Structure 1
Amino acid sequence: MSRTRPAALAAALLTLTTTALAATTGTAHAAHAAHAAHAAHAATVNYVALGDSYSAGGGSSSTYLNSCNQSTNAYPYLYAQSTSPATFDFQACGGATTTDVVNNQLAPLTSGTTLVSMTIGGNDVGLRDVLASCLLGSDAACLSAVSSAENTARTQLPGELDTVYGAIRSRAANAHVVILGYPRFYDPGAPLCPGISPARRAALNDGADVLNSVIQSEAAKYPNFAYADVTSRFAGHQLCDPAPWLHALNWPIGQSFHPTAAGQAGAYLPALEANG
């Protein structure tokens, strides 16, 4: 019996070791297979990034790639770096309207395009003028500017979005299109927010909600279009929070209320990843 116990123990240890090795090898093989599948998928992705400054990356850097204020901190660039698509065409440009997208950004779209992302609509409703009124004017001027922008969003923007969405679908019939929204700028629960009144903060948030609602409703009309909400992703990082992911008053003023590098990486990039 004294000789069989060590033998049995050795056999048991050998079995456990073999089982553990097999499990480890299986896990490694599974991880390798997942990585290979991800790489194979990325190799078939042809990605085109359209839109305005929120997609170009305005406000996310102190230096830019070109006159469109495209930044290497912008979510399309970060997405391309992390996924290594077969092709990546960065067309988004600061100040762009829906008309600018149709006239200047759609050339790379083809039947081979598989992924398109875009933020658009803010400049069509005069966001820059609204910001100037709310940052530099009175409460009355701010509320009037927001109300006018909301009216434009409800009455004119749907047709403008239909034009650009239809053009994208026509040129890239096989693409999955991710339309990203805009942040709510202020944390309504922040106890202190110097420099801007509660009325103006609430008005700007309401204006963002109206804009996003119109964008989402129009995107829902198109096959293979997905609306990606970013408002919840900025929660805790809005203006007047301890670590905001948005600029307040910034120079040039057009970059005010735009995402910082942290906002691009922490809010916009995950929104695209979740819907891309």
Structure 2
Amino acid sequence: MKLSRIATLSSSLLLAVGLALTGAGAAQAAQQAASTDYVALGDSYSSGVGSGSYDSSSGDCLRSTVAYPALWAAAHSPSSFHFDACSGARTGDVLNGQLSSLNASTDLVSLTIGGNDAGFADTMTTCVLHSESTCLARIATANGYIDSTLPGLLDQVYSAITARAPAAHVVVLGYPRFYRLNGSCIAGLSESERSAINAASDHINQVTAKRAADHGFAFGDVISTFTGHEICSSSSWLHSVNLFNLTESYHPTAAGQSGGYLPVLNAQD
């Protein structure tokens, strides 16, 4: 009986210590988040194009209050938050217009970049408006650019971030696959075109992940979080082509920002 009672008391003590440590860990994590200086850079996937609720002061950059950087900041209350991502941004735009908020005190940086450099918008427009052969040729051109030119451009951006914010944890997020193959779409692009577009998304993610890793940055892959929520699925988190609002076409909805991007940043921060 005594041994049993001792074992019970020991278990209770260990449980109490464990709970105390868990509480301490949670408090420490909250304190660290509150002391974080966070800067969000990049293109329309980071500014939140497609999710609505745009901040009127952001103008053509179309920064949304429900984009993943804004959602992260709202949940973690960092000591400072600079939301500099902008619709249409290319690597040169980040270099020339988005780095001023970075400094030696910056703790966290997130960004998506490279899609516009590779001609994402033009490729999708070509595929929607022209023949399958023209679409596939345009995708091949984009893939060639991703191989030959994009790595060097990404290196320039990543090196500039490190130079300005050497202590920051940098999270580079990728792009989703756009189509659910053999899904519910009964018109529009062919399956060959959809498959080629998906493969191009995978390709830019692979190249971006390699460049990020070589700079010591984390890469956040959103393929898994968007799986089951592609265009042609029953619950799409991506806008299909919208001739009345071409800007939002092929961009995440608010659900895509909160369910597709935010969990990936949370897992990497």
The alignment yields a C-alpha RMSD, in angstroms, of: 2.1
Q: Percent sequence identity over matched residues?
A: 46
Structure 2 counterpart of 1:242: 234
Superposed displacement of residue 22, structure 1: 8.6
Q: Which runs of 5+ in 2 are unaligned?
A: 1-7
Tell me, yes or no, if the aligned pair for 1:158 and 1:215 is still in contact at 8 Å: yes
* 2:77 pairs with 1:97: no
Alignment of 1:88-237 (within 5 A): 88-190=81-183, 192-223=185-216, 225-237=217-229
Segment of structure 1 superposing worse, 196-205 or 30-39: 30-39
Letter of the structure 1 residue corresponding to residue 147 of structure 2? R
| Distance in 2 (alpha carbons) for counterparts of 1:193 and 1:29 | 56
Aligned residue pairs total: 259
Structure 1 counterpart of 2:30: 39
Query: Any idea what the Cα deviations from partners look like across 1:5-38, whole Å, max 9, x if unmatched?
Result: xxxxxxxxxxx9x99x999987875564344212
Q: Residue 220 of structure 1: SS of its match in structure 2? A: helix
Query: Any idea what the Cα deviations from partners look like across 1:69-127, whole Å, max 9, x if unmatched?
Result: 00011000000011111111000000000000000000010111010000000000111
Tell me, yes or no, if the aligned pair for 2:119 and 2:142 is still in contact at 8 Å: yes
Structure 2 counterpart of 1:9: none
| Distance in 2 (alpha carbons) for counterparts of 1:236 and 1:170 | 39
Tell me, yes or no, if the aligned pair for 1:128 and 1:254 is still in contact at 8 Å: no
TM-score scaled to structure 1, two decimals?
Answer: 0.87
| Distance in 2 (alpha carbons) for counterparts of 1:235 and 1:179 | 19
Segment of structure 1 superposing worse, 173-182 or 39-48: 39-48
Query: Any idea what the Cα deviations from partners look like across 1:215-244, whole Å, max 9, x if unmatched?
Result: 111111112x00110011100000000010
| Distance in 2 (alpha carbons) for counterparts of 1:187 and 1:212 | 18
Tell me, yes or no, if the aligned pair for 2:55 and 2:64 is still in contact at 8 Å: yes
Rg larger in structure: 1
Point out 4+ residue stretches in structure 1 off by more than 3 angstroms: 21-32, 62-65
Q: Residue 117 of structure 1: SS of its match in structure 2? A: strand
Q: Residue 214 of structure 2: SS of its match in structure 1? A: coil
